[in-house]
């Protein structure tokens, strides 16, 4: 006896389930992680050796108020970090910095980005849901060609940037002689080329 379902539709529901499963799998990296807990004790150097506190360890070794590091993640060969030397125990965000230092950090990060990737760069700060390090830092990298410049707010100086809390991601790129600031994603660094 022959099936009354046409061969092209017989397994249509399986195809649909497969596509839905693939879509869910692709979204897994976008699921927020638990907020990083920070075991740093700056009086105990060995606590700064853990991965989550390793950027605090670099701050202890630098003398400049703002410094830069190449990202050690081998999957991010085009990525750099801008960091303030200032740090304290516990989870930190740029919002915890004095206003003048926060503006200087964003400005120095933008200047370094322009040196590295003239005209097509981006800066990003992930929300605490997508961070694996407790020390405040800004990602620097080339802006992904797939990123569309939709929305955002134009600012002339970094001192005008919104002071977002650690629960908010933020990404910035150059535009019209200023800075276009976007607050549309918690995992902000995905706008940068790895």
Q: Among 78, 86, 98, 183, which residue's Cα sits nearest to residue 136?
A: 86
152 touches 180 (CB < 8 A): yes
pTM of the model: 0.74
The tens digit of pLDDT for each residue in 96-145 reads: 899 999 999 999 999 999 999 999 999 999 988 776 776 788 999 999 99
159 touches 103 (CB < 8 A): yes
Find the range with the poorest average confidence among 26-30, 54-58, 95-99, 157-161. 26-30
Residue 34: phi and psi, rounded to 5, are -60, 145
For 23-43, what is the mean pLDDT? 52
- Measured CA to CA in angstroms, residue 119 lies from 57, 113, 141, 177 at distances of 32, 9, 11, 10
Rg of the chain on CA atoms, in Å = 21
Please give the share of the chain, as a percent, with pLDDT higher than 90.
45
64 touches 78 (CB < 8 A): no
Regarding beta strands 178-182 and 66-70, do their DSSP bridges make them parallel or antiparallel, or are they unpaired? unpaired
The tens digit of pLDDT for each residue in 34-74 reads: 455 666 665 666 655 555 556 656 666 778 999 899 988 88
pLDDT classification of 25: cutoffs 50, 70, 90: very low
Give the mean pLDDT of the chain: 79
Predicted pLDDT of residue 93: 82
163 touches 99 (CB < 8 A): yes
Q: How far apart are CA 78 and CA 143, in angstroms?
A: 10
Q: Nearest-5° angle of CA 136, CA 137, CA 140?
A: 170
Q: What three-state secondary structure class fits 18?
A: helix
pLDDT classification of 20: cutoffs 50, 70, 90: low
Please give the share of the chain, as a percent, with pLDDT higher than 70.
65
Q: Which DSSP helix (H) or strand (E) runs through 101?
A: helix 99-116
CA-CA-CA-CA dihedral for 98, 64, 83, 194, to nearest 10: 150
């Amino acid at each position: 006896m022959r099936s009354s379902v046409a061969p092209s539709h017989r397994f249509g529901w399986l195809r649909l389930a497969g596509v839905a499963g693939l879509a869910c799998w692709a979204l897994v990296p976008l699921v927020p992680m638990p907020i990083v807990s920070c075991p740093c004790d700056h009086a105990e150097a060995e606590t700064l050796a853990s991965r989550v506190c390793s950027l605090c360890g670099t701050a202890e070794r630098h003398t400049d108020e703002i410094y830069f590091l190449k990202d050690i993640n081998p999957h991010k060969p085009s990525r750099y970090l801008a960091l303030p030397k200032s740090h304290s125990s516990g989870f930190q965000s740029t919002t915890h910095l004095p206003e003048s230092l926060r503006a200087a950090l964003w400005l120095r990060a933008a200047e370094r980005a322009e040196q590295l990737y003239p005209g097509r760069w981006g800066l990003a700060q992930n929300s605490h849901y997508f961070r694996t390090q407790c020390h405040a830092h800004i990602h620097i990298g080339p802006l992904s060609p797939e990123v569309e410049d939709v929305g955002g707010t134009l600012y002339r100086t970094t001192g005008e940037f919104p002071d977002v809390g650690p629960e908010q991601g933020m990404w910035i790129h150059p535009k019209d002689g200023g800075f276009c600031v976007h607050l549309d994603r918690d995992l902000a660094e995905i706008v940068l080329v790895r």
